[in-house]
Amino acid sequence: MGFTIIFSSGLSAADVIIDNSTSEGIKGSLGNDTISLNNGTYTGVNNTNVNVPSGKNLTIQSQNPNNKAIIDCQGTWFLSNGGNLTLINLIIKNANGGAIGSNGYLTIINCTFINNTGGDGGAIRNNANSSIIGSTFINNTATGSGGAIYSYTGNLNVSDSNFINNIALSTGWGGGAIYTTSDTVMINNSNFTNNTSGFFGGAIMAQNGANFTILNSNFTNNHASYGGAVMNSAIANFNIFNSLFNSNNATKYGGAIYTHPNSGYTNIRNSIFNDNYASEYGGAIFSGKAMNLSGNLMSGNIAGIMGNAILNYGAMGVLNLTYLNNSTVKVDTGTNVVIFATLTDDMGNPVSYGNISFYVNGVLIGIVEVVEGYANITYYFNETEGIFPVTGQYSGNEMNVSTVNGTVLVHYDINILNGQLIVGDTNVTGDIKLDKKEYWVNETVKTTVNVKNNGPNIAKNVSVKINIPTGFVLNPDSIIVSKGSYDPNTSIWYIGDLNPDEEAMMTFNGKFTKKGDFGISMLVYGDNFNNSTNVANALVKQNSTPTPGPTPGPTPGPTPGPTPEPNYNKQNVSANMKETGIPIIAVILILLASLGLLSYKKSK
């Protein structure tokens, strides 16, 4: 059976270092307070089935934490009985009947448990207080409950540890990694991956304790029939904070979490539920008793029948019950009206199951089951005029819960957001006008908007949306309203209520910055009248006066060449004459004739 350790008193205090060749092995070293094991594999009768006398305080550890000693149980077991046992930096594997059994205080630090098998508790069965710190449990199997750890009494503290591929085969209980009936349990900063239970709690099954808390932990791809990751049964106070549940699966209820109807209070806060699946009910959470939810994010969770995110079979808070989207709906007398409500937690995650009641003007008109956060009822509306509140209640916000002090009624407040129906033929019209039909680009445009309630009732929450076209620049300093206020960021004029025959006016100026056909439009809307629209059109032209070009500069004169310098030293000046094809004598005669003509003109 692995490694059996029984505690006793009266032994001398000492430390000893042994290796796997020490003839008497671990059994022969029990007279010491600390047994340090050199690296190596420890097997055989002197290193398994070890009985440590009760009352003994004993530590067994690896001498080198970076090269852990291996205790290979080879199909036997490892038992501690009474006293205090601490195991540090060990690898314990291949036990049959469980690796460690403890009826005393048990502390496990930085140890690894691999391929161990037992009835209840494949790696550890503990009947007293135990602490598991920084340890890893891989491929451990229980034919009953608690694939890795079975903690029956006392308190259990697990921190900074990993549970991978552990299995509990029981079809009546479960806890693929951990089964606990301990009084107080804390699971902190730990990871549970690919663990499987044949029935309850793919990673953890918690039962019959006073306080159970899961903090800063991750649950991924765990499987069970009920509670793919975690199952809670008869825990007085069950808490899950700041944890992640991803891709867990239940073949029945509660893809990630299942709380049994015999449970006490459950609080789940600031946790994330993604892609969990239940074949029947509660894709992420199935709550069978009293549960308080706040700050949880949920996405991609699916249930085969009902409750993709949350199915509330008990009492739940904090919830938002909203009728008609918390709005006013205009109806006509003598017509069928579909009245609806939504039910979500504080983060908008839909809640299924339980009944929602519908009241119109204080009169109950029906009760409907809520499915995926939605319920509706068809109501024949025969009122003639007025405003009619729509409200109601959700049945799943209170129930009796058994406590140590007896049965108490648990009541969770619900944030109820009412709607209302309005009947009447109130008529509100709007008109928008420009001071001209045609404008030049950048010419001032004066705009007037008028809104009138033509009666016969008060027009509620009147607003006007001004649609400014691209190419129009509004002058914000020019805006004047006779009633209400104008928001330049949204281009909405909030008028408020208008009495019958009351009018409101708005004026503003601006300009078009480009030519073309433009329209400035308005939309009038409110609570108890039909919307109306109007538009003012304008033609914008480009100014036809030509823009003068730049003034030309003075015309430049010819650029003078260099003045030739006289050459007084040269006696002979020659000129090269271009050959023209005319005999030189002809050129001389032409020159003489020209001189004679000039002389003739002068004499005249």
- CB-based contact 495:522 (threshold 8 Å): no
Q: What is the CA radius of gyration of the chain?
A: 47
CA of 541: how far to CAs of 439, 516, 518, 520, in Å? 6, 7, 11, 17
Mean pLDDT confidence for 14-21: 92
Q: Which fold has domain 428-541?
A: Immunoglobulin-like (2.60.40)
Q: Residue 55: what pLDDT?
A: 85
- CB-based contact 250:278 (threshold 8 Å): yes
Structure tokens at 470: 């691209």
Coil, strand, or helix at residue 598? helix
> Is residue 573 predicted with pLDDT exceeding 50?
no
How is 529-590 classified by DSSP, letter by letter? S--EEEEEEEEEE---SPPP-PPP-PPP-PPP-PPPPP-SS-S---------SS-HHHHHHH
- Contacts of residue 28, Cβ cutoff 8 Å, sequence gap at least 6: 22, 46
> Is residue 306 predicted with pLDDT exceeding 90?
yes
> Is residue 603 predicted with pLDDT exceeding 50?
no
Look at 250-254, 352-356, 382-386 and tell me which has the smallest mean pLDDT: 382-386
CA of 540: how far to CAs of 30, 437, 517, 518, in Å? 103, 9, 6, 8
Q: What is the pLDDT of residues 135-167, one digit of tens each?
A: 999 999 999 999 999 999 999 999 999 999 999
- Contacts of residue 399, Cβ cutoff 8 Å, sequence gap at least 6: 289, 290, 314, 315, 409, 410
Q: What is the pLDDT of residues 176-212, one digit of tens each?
A: 999 999 999 999 999 999 999 999 999 999 999 899 9
Question: Domain limits of the chain?
Answer: 116-313, 322-423, 428-541
Q: Residue 8: what pLDDT?
A: 34
CATH 3.40.50.300 fits 322-423, yes or no: no
- CB-based contact 488:510 (threshold 8 Å): no
Q: Residue 222: what pLDDT?
A: 99
| 386 vs 499: CA distance, rounded Å | 15
**Rounded percentage of the chain residues whose pLDDT exceeds 70:** 86
* Cα–Cα nearest to 106, from 58, 63, 143, 64: 58
Q: What is the DSSP letter of 372?
A: T
| 422 vs 478: CA distance, rounded Å | 37
Q: Residue 402: what pLDDT?
A: 63
| 118 vs 72: CA distance, rounded Å | 15
Q: What is the pLDDT of residues 384-424, one digit of tens each?
A: 778 899 999 999 988 776 665 667 777 888 999 999 998 87
Q: Which residue has the higher pLDDT, 290 or 82?
A: 290
> Is residue 557 predicted with pLDDT exceeding 90?
no
Q: Residue 241: what pLDDT?
A: 99
Q: What is the pLDDT of residues 284-305, one digit of tens each?
A: 999 999 999 999 999 999 999 9
CA of 434: how far to CAs of 450, 492, 545, in Å? 12, 19, 25
Decide if 322-423 and 428-541 have a common fold: yes
Q: Residue 579: what pLDDT?
A: 45
Q: Residue 527: what pLDDT?
A: 80
Q: Residue 458: what pLDDT?
A: 85
pLDDT classification of 545: cutoffs 50, 70, 90: low
Q: Which residue reads 């975690």 in tokens?
A: 230
> Is residue 444 predicted with pLDDT exceeding 70?
yes
Question: Cα-flanking dihedrals φ and ψ of residue 579, to 5°?
Answer: -70, 125
pLDDT classification of 459: cutoffs 50, 70, 90: confident
| 325 vs 418: CA distance, rounded Å | 8
| 157 vs 134: CA distance, rounded Å | 11
Q: Which residue has the higher pLDDT, 557 or 29?
A: 29
- CB-based contact 68:93 (threshold 8 Å): no
Q: Residue 178: what pLDDT?
A: 98
What secondary structure, in 3-state letters, does 50-106 show?
CCCCCCCEEEEEECCCCCCEEEECCCCCEEEECCEEEEECEEEECCECCCEEECCEE
Q: Residue 598: what pLDDT?
A: 42
- Contacts of residue 545, Cβ cutoff 8 Å, sequence gap at least 6: none
Mean pLDDT confidence for 209-224: 97
Mean pLDDT confidence for 308-320: 95
* Cα–Cα nearest to 187, from 208, 203, 169: 203
pLDDT classification of 600: cutoffs 50, 70, 90: very low
> How far does CA 68 lie from the centroid of its chain?
42
Q: Residue 7: what pLDDT?
A: 35
- CB-based contact 538:438 (threshold 8 Å): yes
Mean pLDDT confidence for 260-288: 97
| 136 vs 399: CA distance, rounded Å | 41
pLDDT classification of 580: cutoffs 50, 70, 90: very low
Q: Which residue has the higher pLDDT, 55 or 222?
A: 222
**Extended strands (E) in 96-161:** 100-102, 105-109, 112-114, 117-118, 124-126, 130-133, 136-138, 141-142, 149-151, 155-159
> Is residue 377 predicted with pLDDT exceeding 60?
yes
Q: Residue 406: what pLDDT?
A: 67
> Is residue 549 predicted with pLDDT exceeding 70?
no
Coil, strand, or helix at residue 351? strand
